[in-house]
Amino acid sequence: MADKKAAVKKPVKIFQVIRDGVVFELQSEPEGGYTVSVPALPGCISYGRTFEEAMEMIKDAITGWLEVAKEVGVPIPEQFEAIRLARI
């Protein structure tokens, strides 16, 4: 008989953080850490071992997303036109 406790998975928690008008969705990962995404920027996602690291890592993802969007002509949501990533 398999150990029932080993089969029980830690529940995944999803919550939102809003900073400077930008919505971030954070999801706790069963193995630890957080996946963070920016719903206004489809595909903009990152990961960090802690909440603070996840929020720091998403800055690079946003910067990269915006650079590529400008290169290929994807419309950039107004709130990101003059975003100050240092304040996020």
* Structure confidence by residue, pLDDT tens digits, 49-80: 999 999 999 999 999 999 999 999 999 998 88
Distance from the first to the final alpha carbon of the chain: 49
Contact indicator for 76, 69 with CB cutoff of 8 Å: yes
Query: Is residue 66 assigned to a domain?
Result: yes
pTM, full prediction: 0.77
The 3-state DSSP class for residue 3 equals coil
Of the pLDDT bands very low, low, confident and very high (cuts 50, 70, 90), residue 39 is very high
Number of domains in the chain: 1
What CATH number is attached to the domain comprising 72? Answer: 3.30.160.250
Q: Where do runs of H (alpha helix) occur along the chain? A: 4-7, 51-72
Give the domain range for residue 42.
12-87
Q: Among candidates 47, 27, 38, which has minimal Cα distance to 79?
A: 38
Q: Rounded CA gap, 61 and 44, in Å?
A: 6
Residue 5 lies in a domain: no
Is 31 a domain residue?
Answer: yes
